[in-house]
Amino acid sequence: MFLSQTVALSDSSSTAEARRAGAVMAAALGLSETKSGEVAIVITEAARNAMVYGGGGQVVLSGTKSQYEARIEILVLDRGPGIADLARALEDGYSTGGTPGTGLGAIRRMASAFDVFTSAKGTALFARIAQDEVSRQFKSLVECAALKAPFPGENACGDNIAWDIRGDRCVMLVADGLGHGPNAADAADEAVRIFQAYKQESPAEIMSRLHDALKKTRGAAAAVAEIRPLAGTLIYAGVGNIAGSILSNTLGRSLISHNGTLGHIMARVQEFKVEWPKDGILIMHSDGLQSRWDLTRYPGILARQPALIAGVLLRDFRRERDDASVLVMKGATSI
Ligand SMILES: [Mn+2]
């Protein structure tokens, strides 16, 4: 299960709206009362900071449930001047909002993963509230973060994302249903269902399954990536306008998709097998993000939580008139 909700921080009622969205998601994931309370505190405090010091922004909530755990990842993004003294702001009990007992230090203590990236371009705060103790013990080789946001004014998102991590294999899907709105969402959601059913197969096989299944829908662009970090390999297959790229200190490359629309026209499925560097970061996104993003303008960000990288891409490189989705995968961070 992958739930996603974006709330704009634009006026005095926004924080409460974001908190309500968090409560709804916590209930849908079956989080305990304690964890739901932590979600509310994190959203409230981080949203207030973004309102007061960032001049507004957005809260992006991502909820996932697997056999291992249930978790909500909270991203709060603003385009303010940045936090001048992050170390001080992180001191426990120090609250920029003047509320005793909360503040960034409290968020960090509650979160099972926490990270802040702040620069003159704004602040991105990431906090994960996870339900199960097993989540602290379960050491995955890689971490995936995915964000999606609907066409402005739409509730249904015509993009969707799914991934699966099992042992030394991580397989990921980004799908963009043609157009936007409910019919686009139907196509993207069907792609996720088929992916979940056949995710153990190769990327090319999954793409063929998608092509067959999407014939009854409006159609979609999609790409599937399979990474085996221990073997150091990446296999990629894409049709239509999904961008894929690998970033690393030793290598940077774009991954190739063929033209077409799954469900309608697919000339061929081709797998590309490339080296997956040890410090590799995979970024996949729909055309709701500009293709010419450049993370070298954000010194140090590649070493941070994948959710922060995804958040900054969504914040600063979004095309306004489309659904947007972005997936970032990298080796597990110890932050
Ligand atoms: Mn699109």
Q: Give residue 191 CA to ligand 1 midpoint distance, Å.
A: 15
Residue 104 above 50 pLDDT? yes
In this prediction, residue 332 has a pLDDT band, given cuts at 50, 70 and 90, of: confident
Cα of 48 to ligand 1 centre, how many Å?
A: 32
Q: What is the pLDDT of residues 190-209, one digit of tens each?
A: 999 999 999 999 999 999 99
Q: How far is CA 10 from the centre of its chain?
A: 22
Q: How confident is the model at residue 215 (pLDDT cuts 50, 70, 90)?
A: very high
pLDDT at position 88 is: 85
CA–centroid distance, residue 158 to ligand 1 (Å): 8
Cα–ligand 1 centroid distance for 289 (angstroms): 9
> How much distance in Å is there from the Cα of 325 to the middle of ligand 1?
9
Fold for 2-136, please state it: Heat Shock Protein 90 (3.30.565)
Distance 323 CA to ligand 1 centre (A): 6
With 80 as the cut, is the pLDDT of residue 142 above it? yes
DSSP 268-335: ----EEEE--TT-EEEEE-TTB-TT--GGGSTTGGGS-HHHHHHHHHHHHB-TTS-EEEEEEEEPP--
Query: How many Å lie between the centroid of ligand 1 and the Cα of residue 229?
Result: 29
- Whole-number Å distance, alpha carbon 106 to ligand 1 midpoint, is 38
Residue 67 has a pLDDT of 76
* β pairing state of 57-65 and 281-285: unpaired
List phi, psi (to 5°) of 180: -150, 175
Q: Name residues with Cβ closer than 5 Å to ligand 1, which is an ion.
A: 176, 286-287, 322
> What is the 241 CA–ligand 1 centroid distance (Å)?
8
pLDDT digits (tens, 9 = 90+) for 30-71: 999 999 999 999 999 999 999 998 999 999 999 998 877 899
The predicted pLDDT at position 334 comes to: 46
What separation in Å is there between the alpha carbon of 30 and the centre of ligand 1?
Answer: 32
Residue 204 Cα to ligand 1 midpoint, Å, equals 22
**Which pLDDT belongs to residue 249?**
82
Q: Record the pTM.
A: 0.92
Q: Which of 28, 42, 110, 119 is nearest to 76 (CA)?
A: 42
Instruction: Please write the tens of the pLDDT for every residue from 252-309.
Output: 899 999 999 999 998 889 999 999 998 999 999 999 999 999 999 999 999 999 999 9
Give Cβ neighbours of residue 98 (< 8 Å, ≥ 6 apart).
none
- Average pLDDT score over residue span 221-230: 96
pLDDT for the residue 86: 85
User: What's the rounded mean pLDDT across residues 328-335?
Assistant: 74
d(CA 128, CA 71): 7
pLDDT at 335: 40
**Fold classified for 139-331:** Phosphatase 2c; domain 1 (3.60.40)
State in Å: Cα 324 to ligand 1 middle.
7
Domains of the chain by residue range: 2-136, 139-331
Those residues whose C-beta lies under 8 Å from the C-beta of residue 168, and which sit 6 or more positions away, are 141, 228, 229, 230, 231
- The pLDDT tens digits for 64-73 are 988 778 999 9
Q: Quick: pLDDT tens for 121-134.
A: 999 999 999 987 55
Ligand 1 mean position, distance from CA 218 (Å): 13
Q: How confident is the model at residue 22, as a pLDDT?
A: 97
- Taking the centre of ligand 1 as the mean of its atom positions, its distance from the CA of residue 68, in whole angstroms, is 32
Distance 195 CA to ligand 1 centre (A): 19
